[in-house]
Amino acid sequence: MSSLSIAIFCLCSSSLASGSDLTVLKSFGYQPDGEYPEGRLVQGSDGTLYGTTNGGGVNGYGMAFSVAPDSTFANLHSFDGTDGQQLTVGLAMGNGGALFGTTPQGSYCIKSACTGFGGSVFRLSSAGALATLHYFAGNGAVDGSAPGELINGGDGYFYGTTSMGGAAGINGLGTVFKVAPTGKLVTLHSFTANEPFYPKSGLTKGADGDFYGATGNGPANNYGTIFKITITGALSTVHSFSGADGSQPNGRLLLSSDGNFYGTTGGGGAYGAGTLFRLSASGELTTLYSLSGSSPASGLAQGADGTLYGVTSGGGDANGGTLFGYTPQGTFTTLHVFEFADGLNPSAGPILGQDGLLYGTTVQGGSGGVDHFPTGTVFSFDPAALHAPVLSLTKECFNELDTCLPPYDSFPGGYVGLSWYSANVSNCVASGAWKGARLTDGFIEFQTRIPGKHTYVLNCTSATGPVSATATIVVGP
């Protein structure tokens, strides 16, 4: 038997599933509504959620929005290109309820001559008044271009990274900067080829007062690193990934009350689909869990009991993504499998709200609002509630149509596959035509040998009792 990283699903599965246990607070539609919320949410002191969209808004260039606890939605600002466009990251909360954010690019036109710039930093009031604090010139400017998510440093400055540009100009490999609410920007560090470079979006302030982030490349390999930088710009490498312990760290780290950082990688690990890891204050990295399906998205949240929560951008039903939890005892559980009505393909991790609920965004799916043109959602999920188990086992056939058609799924010597996903189950064991313990999500391909009907059963445990799913593969004469 061998594993594949890509599965082709056919409509021939046996599953146990239930209606969605996730609440959609906002379903985005077509312009002038927002489209494709990619960034992480932030919550104000009154419980209001704030975020951004990549597209849509009145002008089609994206928007900043708010969603109240009662689902009341407001378009705070529609970008028009001259103040930035295509927002891909979330907002940071400042003093007095002001919001701070970045755009990765923008453009303006004078008559028929249009000029692009490398993004901006802006301030936005809760009432929607926007002020651009800094324009990045782009085209390899020394202050960088394509800025990512900001973090409030608590010292009167906001800190962030750019993925390109810097002192090397057009050959620049990114920067770390700080910016004051007045708009004064200081480049703390320009990355070079003899150190980790191409920083990912999102810094985290450590207990030591330094800032920690991730890069996608390093001088020795392309697996990525974790770095730290002081407020004076001194940069050092904390950990270089090897692939076996993960690769391509997603960027944002979570500083836990236990003094450790927790984060995710988009690749590497035991199955090549990414990892969850813990990083001590001294720089020792421990791989906590290797994912076997889709890779985790950037950003983890932590519950009061220490459980870590995150999302994957794919996997599950229709490859729409999942919401998962990882307990301090080392138990990984898929808590929710996203369906079209919930929204699909989250690209940023959830946040833990003041009410103990998880809040997040999806980039696709949803009902689409009044125009029924689905372009993502804002959702809430109660991790403390008892959620029904989900278990699906699907057979996969490899032929000209890549689908299972009667009367035979395969012939002796041919190949077939089984894929499965689940939520809120554990301790899965195969029986029938296959045997042994199984991960709660997976895929196998195998060669058929004996004609006839072969039934494959997957049995798992859940908080509400045992669950099982079956798939029957018919091998021709």
CATH number at residue 258: 2.130.10.10
Domain of residue 280 covers: 23-381
Q: For residue range 392-406, what is the model confidence (pLDDT) as tens digits?
A: 999 999 988 888 989
Q: Is residue 244 part of a domain?
A: yes
Q: Are residues 228 and 375 in the same domain?
A: yes
Percentage of the chain surpassing pLDDT 90?
A: 81
Q: Is residue 98 part of a domain?
A: yes
Q: Please, are residues 99 and 105 in contact by the beta-carbon 8 Å criterion? A: no
The pair of structure tokens assigned to 356 is 């103990």
Work out the pLDDT band at 10, boundaries 50, 70, 90.
very low
Q: Are residues 131 and 219 in the same domain?
A: yes
Q: Is residue 73 part of a domain?
A: yes
Count CB-CB contacts under 10 A for residue 401. Answer: 9
The pair of structure tokens assigned to 463 is 């908080």
Average pLDDT in the 137-163 region?
92
Q: How far apart are CA 178 and CA 156, in angstroms?
A: 10
Q: How far apart are CA 136 and CA 126, in angstroms?
A: 24
User: Would you say residue 69 has pLDDT above 90?
Assistant: no
Q: Is residue 3 part of a domain?
A: no
Average pLDDT score, the chain:
91
What is the structure's pLDDT at 18?
41
Average pLDDT in the 255-283 region?
95
Please compute, for residue 14, the number of CA atoms within 13 A of its CA located in the half-sphere on the CB side. 14
pTM for this model (two decimals): 0.91
Q: Are residues 213 and 124 in the same domain?
A: yes
What is the structure's pLDDT at 226?
96
Q: Are residues 48 and 126 in the same domain?
A: yes
**Residue 123 gets which letter from DSSP?**
E
Last residue of a domain, one of 329, 364, 381: 381
Query: What is the domain-level CATH number for residue 470?
Result: 2.60.40.10
Last residue of a domain, one of 318, 347, 381: 381
Q: For residue range 274-303, what is the model confidence (pLDDT) as tens digits?
A: 999 999 989 999 999 999 878 999 999 999
Q: Are residues 272 and 411 in the same domain?
A: no
Q: Is residue 238 part of a domain?
A: yes
Q: Is residue 4 part of a domain?
A: no
Q: Are residues 326 and 450 in the same domain?
A: no
What is the structure's pLDDT at 427?
94
Work out the pLDDT band at 1, boundaries 50, 70, 90.
very low
Q: Are residues 327 and 453 in the same domain?
A: no
Q: For residue range 173-187, what is the model confidence (pLDDT) as tens digits?
A: 999 999 999 999 999
What's the gap between Cα 317 and its chain centre? 17
Q: Are residues 314 and 414 in the same domain?
A: no
Which residues fall within 8 angstroms of residue 20, CB to CB, at 6 or more apart?
Answer: 336, 339, 341, 342
What is the structure's pLDDT at 101?
98
* End-to-end Cα distance, the chain: 22
Q: Is residue 407 part of a domain?
A: yes
Average pLDDT in the 12-38 region?
77
Average pLDDT in the 31-57 region?
96
Q: If DSSP codes are grouped into helix, strand and coil, which group holds residue 221?
A: coil
Supply the DSSP string of 347-389, one letter for each residue.
Answer: -B--EE-TTS-EEEEESBBS--GGGT--B-EEEEE-TTS----
What is the structure's pLDDT at 16?
41
Q: Are residues 80 and 209 in the same domain?
A: yes
User: Would you say residue 440 has pLDDT above 60?
Assistant: yes
Q: For residue range 31-40, what is the model confidence (pLDDT) as tens digits?
A: 999 999 999 9
Work out the pLDDT band at 20, boundaries 50, 70, 90.
low
Q: Are residues 416 and 335 in the same domain?
A: no
Of 4 and 324, the structure prediction assigns the larger pLDDT to: 324
User: Would you say residue 375 has pLDDT above 90?
Assistant: yes
Average pLDDT in the 35-63 region?
96
User: Is the four-CA dihedral 287, 289, 290, 296 of positive or negative sign?
Assistant: negative
| Cα angle for residues 296, 299, 305 (degrees, 5° grid) | 100
What is the structure's pLDDT at 251?
86
What is the structure's pLDDT at 434?
96
Q: Is residue 18 part of a domain?
A: no
Total domain count for the chain? Answer: 2
Q: Are residues 230 and 359 in the same domain?
A: yes
Last residue of a domain, one of 333, 358, 381: 381
What is the structure's pLDDT at 6?
28
Rama region for 86: left / alpha / beta (φ>0; ψ in -120 to 50; rest): left
Q: Are residues 191 and 218 in the same domain?
A: yes
What is the structure's pLDDT at 115?
81
Which residues fall within 8 angstroms of residue 397, CB to CB, at 6 or more apart?
Answer: 10, 403, 404, 405, 409, 410, 416, 417
SS (H, E, C) 24-66: EEEECCCCCCEECCCCCCEECCCCCEEEECCEECCCCECEEEE
